[in-house]
Structure 1
Amino acid sequence: MSSSVLYDAQGPRAKRRNIVYSIVFVVAVAALVWWVYQGLNDKGQLDWEKWKPFFAGSEAWTTYILPGLKNTLIAAALSMVIALPLGAVLGIARLSDHAWIRVPAAVIVEFFRAIPVLMLMIFGVALFSQYTDVSSDDRPLYAVVTGLVLYNASVLAEIVRAGILSLPKGQAEAGQAIGLRKTQIMTSILLPQAVTAMLPAIVSQLVVIVKDTALGGAILTFPELLASVSPMSSYYGANTIASFTVVAVIYIVLNFSLTSFASWLERRLRRAKKSTGAVLPPTAVAGAESTGIAA
């Protein structure tokens, strides 16, 4: 029986036991799927008439789904564009040596990170209705973006701060040794290295932004993607399961595309860092030797 540093190799009894567990798990999952299928089929939720609007015409898409998807993407994109730089500024400010910068940034981050994003959206509606001239039609969008920006910028600030603190102290000390200012060390040395480490957490937070736009539809009557399910289901004869399924698939595709792009970008950044070494031509080396620089 062989073994490794991390674990001991399984013996015959353990292998048989794992095979039995796998078979039991597969049977249980199959039974659950069959039970769900039978329940939906008995209630008529799998009838073609329930799914026909999504596959046999474009009315459901052009009237309900695509307008809702458009509003979701608008709210999410605006929130990302504002929250990312704001979170970076707050995260860097929390690392400042000056208390008059560090303390207010910490208070802002901890305050808005502790408040539920839905409450921030509700406060946003009240704020825009009482103190601005924003129309009632645009007010839900403004409130959703405001809530998402305040909450997610605070979370992103902590991600940025943790990413920078995870770097070895020698990185900053090397910049100080060659006479760089603190701003130059942050922008030229620390942030470029921390971006790759922070990217998975940042993308996870961006996915949260996309999903949290649904809170605006549930509470603030913001006509986003998930909010299109109720009128669509009512119009097409209570096809609630079909409507939710289609919308869920759209969310999955949207978030999977976002994470796939982030994975590609992370691999590209890592390859770029590995290939940043400058290669001097032979003439430059010969010139350096002739002037005595190489020695």
Structure 2
Amino acid sequence: MSMTFDDGSFIRTELAQPLPPPTRNVGVIGWMRENLFSSPLNIVLTLVGVLLAALIFPPLIRFLLIDAVWTGENREACLGPGVGACWPFVKAKFGQFIYGFYPISERWRVDIVFLLGAVLLAPLLVLSWPGKRLNAFLFFGVYPVIAFVLLTGGNIDLSAFLLQHFGLIRPLTGDFTVAGINLTFWVDYILTAALFAGIAWVATRALGASGRSAALAVLYFFLALGIITFIWDFDFGLPYVETRQWGGLLVTLVIGVTGIVTSLPLGIVLALGRRSTMPIVRLLCVIFIEFWRGVPLITVLFFATYMLPLFLPAGTNPDGLLRALVGVALFTAAYMAEVVRGGLQAMPKGQYEGAMAMGLTWSQMMRLIILPQALTLVIPGIVNSFISLFKDTTLVLIVSIFDFLGQLRASFTDPNWASPVTLYTGFAFAGIVYFLFCFGMSRYSLFVERRLNTSHRH
């Protein structure tokens, strides 16, 4: 609308409506022009991609879906010309793929662990979910203990092991047990905690700092370890299941999640240590990182499984799965340290100077200013290490630990399902499972990167 005056002039009272963009620049056509046909090179690459897709996907879909066999009791259903994927084989072996040789009557314990892990992990993945600290404590602190007790059955006599190898007063008092509780161990444990707290207090005071915080940190550590020991020693009435009976996706998730959860904090500590101004600390971190990066993971697994017991005290024989977990975690932590170090080196010097100008201590500066920004910068590298670790769990088959892929290969030996397409069906199923996990981690990392990396948008 407009107002017209006697001299013929007018004043517009409303903004003119913008004209719609050209049709060829919006919608599907506009997207294709911008992303697929924006240049001669893109046109060639698009045509090559379409050609490859036409060569690969139709036969794959035909094998997996159109010509596939969906029902059957044995190999007879999957024999014949032109037969596609043998999905009855996957259905028959599905429990073995998930649980391995875990006793069928006790598989409900694994289901509870999976369900509880999913319930606690989902709120952590939602950035706006309230109560993050409590949720993180439950997932990283309480859940591992509950999962260990459920999967193994608990009652592992950790207190007896610690008392035998690290006890201070046992040679003087012997074992004194009341109502199934080894009082000798707990008295010894309290004295050990007090001794280490005193050493931490004296050492910190000698460096000119307050010893109270160091002593409290030691006491908190011993308190957490004592709670874990008590829970693991308690008899919940669950049958004990050896880790040799574990297998399938259970082992893959245990190794993958444990490696991911432990490698990130270890990698951060190693990265900070490598950039430390203290020569001894920097040298030790450099030696650790370069050693683990200089040997292949298979060598690490062989050493942890077969050679590590030779270097331990007589009678000490850690569980095979535990040895593999430690080896994988340390190996991944070395690579994670270099990823984090890249983020620390990418931080502008002004961030450090600004934090110091505000009077922040070194720990406050790293915790509140530097690390949040540095980790945001290297989210793609961190997730790439996680994906690589998840796929590298298949190497534990070398040391006779049957993960998901190892259990799949073991199932091929069943003569009841021996057919020309069984092998291809099994590996196709494994590829789908690994793709879902790895693709899910990749897409979630992109989501987090977009949410946190707002300062770098243009």
- TM (norm. structure 2) is 0.50
Aligned partners of 1:184, 1:20: CA distance in 2, in Å? Answer: 53
Q: Secondary structure at the match of 2:413?
A: helix
How far off is 1:39 after superposition? 11
Return the letter of the residue paired with 1:264.
F
Aligned mate of 2:391, from 193, 198, 211: 211
The alignment status of 1:270 with 2:449, answered yes or no, reads: no
Number of the residue aligned with 1:5: none
Please name the residue that 2:409 is paired with: 230
User: Are the structure 2 counterparts of residues 94 and 64 from structure 1 closer, same or farther at C-alpha, using a change threshold of 3 Å?
Assistant: same
1:35 deviates by 7.7
Q: Aligned equivalents of 1:209 and 1:16: distance in 2?
A: 39
Greater RCO (Cα-Cα under 8 Å, separation 6 or more): 1
What's the secondary structure of 2:444's corresponding residue? helix
What is the rounded CA distance, in whole Å, between the counterparts of 2:41 and 2:338 in structure 1? 45
Q: CA deviation at 1:63?
A: 2.0
Deviation at 1:37, TM superposition (A): 8.9
- 1:91 corresponds in structure 2 to 271
Using a 3 Å threshold, how does the CA distance of structure 1 residues 18 and 46 change in structure 2: closer, same or farther? same
Shift of 1:103: 1.3
Residue 133, structure 1, aligned to residue 316, structure 2: yes
Letter in 1 for 2:401: F
Gaps in structure 1 of 5+ consecutive residues: 1-13, 275-295
Q: CA deviation at 1:179?
A: 2.1
Q: CA deviation at 1:265?
A: 2.6
Matched, 1:121 2:301: yes
Aligned match for 1:159, one of 339, 346, 358: 339
Larger Rg belongs to? 2
Render the CA deviation track for 1:53-85: whole Å, top value 9, x for unaligned.
23xx4x311123454011100011111122111
Question: Distance in 1 between the 2:289 and 2:430 partners?
Answer: 33
Structure-1 residue corresponding to 2:89? 53
The equivalent residue for 2:428 is: 245
The 10-residue stretch of structure 1 (76-85 or 177-186) with the greater mean CA deviation from structure 2? 177-186
Q: 1:37 to 1:181 in 2, by over 3 A?
A: closer
C-alpha distance in 2 between matches for 1:30 and 1:120: 43
Identity, % of aligned positions:
28
Please tell me whether the aligned partners of residues 229 and 240 of structure 1 are also in contact (alpha carbons under 8 angstroms).
Answer: no
Q: Cα deviation per residue 1:237-293 (whole Å; 9 max; x = unaligned)? A: 14110000001100000111222222233333335x79xxxxxxxxxxxxxxxxxxx
**Counterpart for residue 289 of structure 1:** none
Deviation per CA, 1:133-153: give whole Å up to 9, x if none: 346xx41x2233222212211
- The alignment's C-alpha RMSD in Å is 3.3
Contiguous gaps of at least 5 residues in structure 2 = 1-37, 68-78, 101-247
Change in 2 beyond 3 A, CA 1:126/1:177: same
Residue-by-residue CA offset, 1:114-140 (whole Å, 9 max, x unaligned) = 1111111111012444336346xx41x
Q: Structure 1 segments of 4 or more deviating over 4 A?
A: 14-25, 31-41, 43-46
* 2:444 match: 261
Determine helix, strand or coil for the equivalent of 1:97.
Answer: coil
CA contact (8 A) 1:124 1:142 kept: no
SS of residue matched to 1:234? coil
Moved more, 189-198 or 228-237: 228-237
Q: SS at the partner of 1:242?
A: helix
Aligned residues: 254
